[in-house]
Amino acid sequence: MRYLVLLALSFPLLAQCQKISAPPAGFRAVRNLDYVGSGNQRQMLDLYLPEAKADKPHPLVVYIHGGGWESGSKNEADMLLGLIRGGTPYAGASIHYRLTSQAQWPAQIFDCKAAIRWLRAHAKEYNLDPDKISVFGISAGGHLVSMLGVTGGVKELEGELGKHLDQSSRVSCVLDFCGPSDFLTFGGKGSIIDPDDPKGALAKLIGGPLKDRREEGRKASPVTYITPDDAPFLIIHGDKDTLVPYAQATEFDAALKAAHVPSTLLTGTDGGHVFLSGPLVERMFAFNARHLQGKDVQIPEGAAPSK
C-alpha cells in the first residue's frame, strides 16, 4: 500500500505535464510511430516496452490524453507510466489524435481506432498481446476510450485510416476517468461549461452549438452505442467535478449495467476534475490485473478518497 500511495502522489496534474515523459526504469521508449502512414504528427504514437525478455507477449495499456479535444499531447504520459511500472507485466502506448483545429468529429475516434488496429497488427514485432488491450483516458480522453469500449464493430465509426483495416479495433477493458458520456444531458448539471457556447470545446468538436447539432451530439456520445458485448468499464469521477458533471458518470454506469455490461463506478469523495489517491490507484491496478492477467481480484465499488 505504501508504494501505491507514493505512486499516486508522484502523478503530476495534467496542467503540469508539458514535457516528454521519460520511460520508467526497465523500459525503453519507441517514439513517433506513424499509425496512419500520413506523416501527420497528430497521427503518431509512442510505445513504452519492457526491456527484460519475456516468455509471453505483454498485455498493453493504451493512454489517450485529455484537453477538450483541442489540446494535449501523447508526451503527457506520466499517468500511463504509473500504471505500467512497478513490476507489472504490461507494455504501454500513448497516442496522438487530430485536434478540433484540424478536424471535427468523428475524426478523433477514427484516429483512435486506427491506432488500436496498428498496435494489433504490430503486436508480434513488439511482443504485445493483441487480445489484451486496456485503454485509459482522462476527460476528453475518457470520452474517447469510452467510445472505443462501446463501438467495437460499429462500422460507421471505424473510418478507413491506415493499412490495417483487417484488424479489429475492439479493446479488452476501459478505464474512463471523468469523461463525458452523453452530450444531450450535459448541460444544467453543475458544469461551468455551456454546451451551447458556439466557441466552446463541444461546439468545436461537433461543428456548432449543441442546440443546433443535437443529432451530431447524440452520435458523438458513448451512451448511444451501448450493447451487451461491450468491454468492461471502470468509471472514475469526482462528485464535485465542475467541468464534466458527476451525473455523466452515474447515468453512464446505470446504462451499462442495464445492458449487462460489467461496470464499476468509483466516486471521488469531494473530488474535482481529475484527482488521485492511493486507494484509487490500487483499484486501477486491480481492474487491469483482472482483465489483462485474469486474476481473481475484486474492485470495490463506490466511494474512493480523492486525496
Q: What is the pLDDT of residues 184-226, one digit of tens each?
A: 998 877 788 899 999 999 999 999 999 999 999 999 999 999 9
The pLDDT score that the predictor gives to residue 11 is: 41
Q: 2-305 sits in which CATH class?
A: alpha beta
In the chain, % of residues over pLDDT 90:
82
Q: Tell me how far apart the alpha carbons of residues 168 and 151 are, in angstroms, rounded to a whole number.
A: 11
- pTM equals 0.93
The pLDDT score that the predictor gives to residue 181 is: 98
Strand 173-177 to strand 128-138: parallel, antiparallel, or no bridges (unpaired)?
parallel
Which amino acid does the sequence have at 301?
E
Average pLDDT over residues 277-298: 93
Average pLDDT of the chain to the nearest whole number:
92
The pLDDT-based confidence of 24 (bands split at 50, 70, 90) is: confident
DSSP string, 7-34: HHHHSPPGGG--SPPPPPTTEEEEEEEE
CB 303 within 8 A of CB 273: no
pLDDT in tens, 159-179: 999 999 999 999 999 999 999
The pLDDT score that the predictor gives to residue 4 is: 36
Strand 27-34 to strand 44-50: parallel, antiparallel, or no bridges (unpaired)?
antiparallel
Average pLDDT over residues 32-40: 97
Which amino acid does the sequence have at 3?
Y
CB 159 within 8 A of CB 151: no
Backbone angles phi, psi at 64, to 5 degrees: -120, 120
